[in-house]
Amino acid sequence: MIAYVQGELKRIEENSVIVENGGIGYRIFAPIREDMMRVGVGREVTMHTYFSVREDAMQLFGFLTEDELDLFKLLINVKGVGPKFALAILTSLSMTDILFAIAQGDHKALTKAPGVGNKTAQQIILDLKGKVTVPSADDDSFIPSATGGAVVAESGAVADTIAALEALGYAHTAAAEAVRQIPGWEALAEAGDVSQLVRESLKRLVR
């Protein structure tokens, strides 16, 4: 088994990267997002990998963090979700959004990934709801996201804002993302200005 590949990032392609180690170029299927682009061609990178063996193919899937790899392994054990589907989900959605969607039973959030329909999304939630954890209110104000951005810790004014948006019919993940997009949301949250947070979030949700 190949636990990880460390070497020079030689090429970034549509859904894979080439990492050179010891004179060998490894093609690794990976989520191509902003965090990968920030690493940049010519830089050293460590890809935590999963080696998929089937009758018709042997493929290496890799991720910049072990947490993403762990989530990938959970996803591919869901009925109807193979490595390519799992990769599409982790490419289209941040890891945190996936965890929140599973925890909240928000299958529509998962259908944003190409090829993932309602039935598959519901199966993911059914199989994984008790197997994943989401950030708690005791965490820091910023929780790292798989896209290299951040999501807000859901406590105090932020939690009240998200609850208000959910009462208006918005999905949990969409509400949390809208709050994160507000310039200076931290100061508003610290001041307990829920009404302003809701107003600013709605501006972003109704675009």
Encode pLDDT of 120-164 as tens digits. Answer: 999 999 999 878 776 543 444 333 333 333 444 555 788 888 888
**Averaged pLDDT score across all residues of the chain:** 83
Is this structure's pTM higher than 0.85? no
- Give the other-Cβ count within 10 Å of 129's Cβ: 12
Helices 66-76 and 95-104: crossing angle in degrees, nearest 10, is 40
Cβ atoms within 10 Å of 138's Cβ, excluding its own? 7
Beta bridge partners of 62: 49
pLDDT value at 3 more than 60:
yes
For the chain, give every domain's residue range.
Answer: 4-64, 66-135, 154-207
* Arch. (CATH architecture) of 66-135: Orthogonal Bundle (1.10)
Superfamily of domain 4-64: Nucleic acid-binding proteins (2.40.50.140)
∠ CA 115-116-122 to the nearest 5 degrees? 165
CA distance 14 to 114: 14
